[in-house]
Amino acid sequence: MDVVNPATGAHVETYDEHDEDDVEKALGRSVQAFEDWRTRPVRDREQLLANAADVLRENKQEYAETMTREMGKPISQAIGEIEKCAWVCDHYAEHASAYLEADHHPSPPGSAVKTEHEPLGPVLAVMPWNFPFLQVFRFAAPYLTAGNVGILKHASNVPGCALAIEEVFEEAGYPDNVFQSLLIPSDLVDDLLTDSRVRAATLTGSGPAGRAVAANAGDQVKKTVLELGGSDPFVVLDDADISAAAETGAWARNLNGGQSCIAAKRFIVHTDVYDEFLNSLTDEIDALIVGDPIDEATDVGPQAREDLMETLHEQVSTSVDAGATLVSGGEPLDREGAFYPPTILTDVTEGCPVDTEETFGPVATVYEVADEEAAIAKANDTQFGLGASIWTQDRDRGERLASQIDAGCVYVNQLVKSDPRVPFGGVKDSGYGRELSEAGIKEFVNRKTVWVE
């Protein structure tokens, strides 16, 4: 696997791929590791996870720099990602025991009935490059602490991150092979999914990849959790705090170079405040600093790969040709690296690429709607359903409208984000199942009913 720095186009490093024989050996090691790991007290597993949080914090600069070199995340955001991984570990180190306690049920006199939560075995995780540490820890922290063992197939452009994560668990004191990273091409994933030793799978990625994993795992009757794409609406109502909405909206669209499933992508604005919001949003976005991701002052770095930038630009160009108005941006920057500027489109034609497809980069579409009913209709006019944000100074109004949006999570007067304390996941083409919180740790356990007479 060749790693190319997307900010410079320079070759960083080459990693040897694992082959079919390596996969076979890794599966054997996982099964062996599971037999011992499943019997470890939850308190012991919690302590090891707390150790992992310490390792992350102690090495956050090193891990962040690896992330920045491989996929271009601005260094300040990369450090923040490592700190969030540590927070996820802290959360489950503190709460896993309570989440996994047996549930007791009503039963006849003289009997006792409970549901225990037992681990399933080796879990395969197919993870993306955009949050190369956080996505993995959202899977690993709960599932390993529940007693499963993990096999990571990471994106091929972040192999250094994959190996660094494996090292985190080693340095934290985890037993050998409880967590393994496999540097394999995508065509070996099917072999893992169909192997009887892999008991469940989770994927964060594109819709086609999710469908393929779901189909293969379903054929083997294996549980899956899928977190797929999104085209999140950012609804600005007539009574919104426009300054706050524009400031947060600019960040919600351009964080991580816009390469986020839960980024604000479609700005749906009430006609009474449309001009004011568009002007404020444009000012906020124009003020963002695009540049070298290793510079702490940089807000927006490069796109993760040249081909991804080209795909994004094709979506923008085709949409402009179809009638959309380009307010700002819209052309790759004339410099080394895969840099695409923050871009705003208005007058978006129904059915054009930026209207119907997920734009995985710093491209915001802004729509004008007549009233809140039209805003909700437009928010729901998508095959995706990951997150949504509503802006209004009337909290009751925001809560009422949140119930009308088809999404896995809706935030009122806040950007959409993942938080280890609450469930995270989508509906419709954005996937199924939940990560994080109690719901996440219970996705890959056997909920065994035990009746004692």
Which residues are known catalytic residues? 227, 261
CB 46 within 8 A of CB 93: yes
Handedness of CA 346, 352, 356, 360 (dihedral sign): negative
Q: Percentage helix, strand, coil, to 5, in the chain?
A: 45, 20, 35
Give the bridge partners for 300, in sequence order. Answer: 290
How crowded is residue 422: how many other Cβ atoms within 10 Å of its Cβ?
Answer: 14
Chain CA centroid to CA 362, Å: 17
- Residue 61's H or E segment, with its range, is helix 60-71
CB 141 within 8 A of CB 92: yes
Chain CA centroid to CA 420, Å: 12
Strand order of the sheet with strand 363-369? Answer: 325-328, 343-346, 363-369, 264-270, 232-236, 387-391, 409-412
Q: Which two tokens stand for residue 443?
A: 């996705």
Grouping H, G, I as helix, E, B as strand and the rest as coil, residue 447 is: strand
Q: Which two tokens stand for residue 298?
A: 């940089």
Cα dihedral 402, 406, 408, 410, rounded to 10, equals -20
Return phi, psi of residue 36, to 5°: -85, -40
